[in-house]
Structure 1
């Protein structure tokens, strides 16, 4: 594909597909060009370098997050939907969680998401720095919950590149973990449940934590709470 027919939109879409399959460590201009049927040099006509490309694709995926109409739903419903949608987006694109450790993301799509998040918490009764704290609390909760899946995907790819079977290595590791839990009654009682699986948690853990967090935020703007404590 010549540079005249290659578009930035095609590059971004294909880069996202590559990142979803290979992770951040699998992205390079040569492999991207191969998928596009173009020389790596053709890609450079549209993006400056790999870091520039990661910023572009990192902003693109924020369009996948639902931004509920605050005239149609209450703030708590909106906050819950946005958190669930953000979690789903990060689960689809686990490389983005990994990329937060290497890149400072910005762009119109992320800005639109962040602005709407602040509007949600302002509708709840928070203002100024308190709205920022409320928004950041929910975001970091969602990000933390997405970290396990991202780490597992990255680790599995690393194990595969080393020529080993990820599932086999995981089973060996869990056998050692079971041995380490010997004599610890609380851990022993959970062996065989999902909570004992690597980087996993009991069913509905995310929903439980999100509800608890929103309950706490709602309590902070309840009747009788001074504005400077919200």
Structure 2
């Protein structure tokens, strides 16, 4: 690297220290950070608060993680390690596996709702070992489906963009729900009088609200997510038909 060229700021571009303190390793720091984020949310995360939980000063943490941005890269990659790598060799099954992978990403995001809030600020997270492993598997999946490598990358990004877009608002809603101390059904019941009043002069909204009134809110969320997912996959399947490479028919929704 030329002397006047600054390194790209990322944990994945910085050589990791070979010798680490047994009592305070990068792995322990990341594990505790994930727990803190799951319980208290992204606003509670700081090097000082994390150091307090670990019984160490922030200076000790900086020996293993140079900045808070690096820490966020690490925790994002950590939770991506919960995902299974898509595995498909039969082109006829690409859509089923893609749908399952999308649902897995959604489930992971809802287990760790802070993820949705930080994905836009994770720098070179794509260089992390877990995210790289999952991305490699998804690229292979779309290549098996019939896309060349460049378009497989575009198909993967389209699918992930849909999942993250949907789960960002969903995760925010569930975080608010958790702070309220109410179940989802209790929350819906408490809002019913205000909601009915708000939609009474809007016949389409009123009809839709009445239709969902006695349904489990979680079932509605699941159905809405899967509806959009199937339409994204319809589009990708149509593209494969155009390319002459679609090996399977659409799955029922």
Indicate the TM-score class for this superposition, using the shorter chain for normalisation. Answer: 0.7 to 0.9
Give the CA RMSD over aligned residues: 3.3
Task: Evaluate the alpha carbon distance shift between residue 219 and residue 139 of structure 1 in structure 2; reply closer, same or farther with a 3 A threshold.
Answer: same
Q: Distance in 2 between matches of 1:199 and 1:77?
A: 22
For structure 2, the 5+ residue unaligned runs are 1-20, 246-253
Contact conserved, 2:34 with 2:75, CA < 8 A, in 1?
yes
Q: Any idea what SS the aligned residue of 1:31 has?
A: helix
Contact conserved, 1:152 with 1:199, CA < 8 A, in 2?
no
1:182 pairs with one of 193, 197, 200 = 200
Task: Evaluate the alpha carbon distance shift between residue 212 and residue 202 of structure 1 in structure 2; reply closer, same or farther with a 3 A threshold.
Answer: same
Task: Evaluate the alpha carbon distance shift between residue 68 and residue 226 of structure 1 in structure 2; reply closer, same or farther with a 3 A threshold.
Answer: closer
Highest RCO, 1 vs 2 (Cα 8 Å, sep ≥ 6) = 2
The residue number in structure 1 matching 2:147 is 126
Q: Distance in 1 between matches of 2:243 and 2:214?
A: 40
2:37 aligned with 1:19: yes
Number of aligned residues: 219
Matches within 5 A, 1:40-189: 40-71=58-89, 74-104=93-123, 105-106=125-126, 107-155=128-176, 176-189=194-207
2:234 aligned with 1:220: no
Task: Evaluate the alpha carbon distance shift between residue 18 and residue 142 of structure 1 in structure 2; reply closer, same or farther with a 3 A threshold.
Answer: same
For structure 1, the 5+ residue unaligned runs are none
In the TM superposition, residue 13 of structure 1 has moved relative to its aligned partner by 0.6
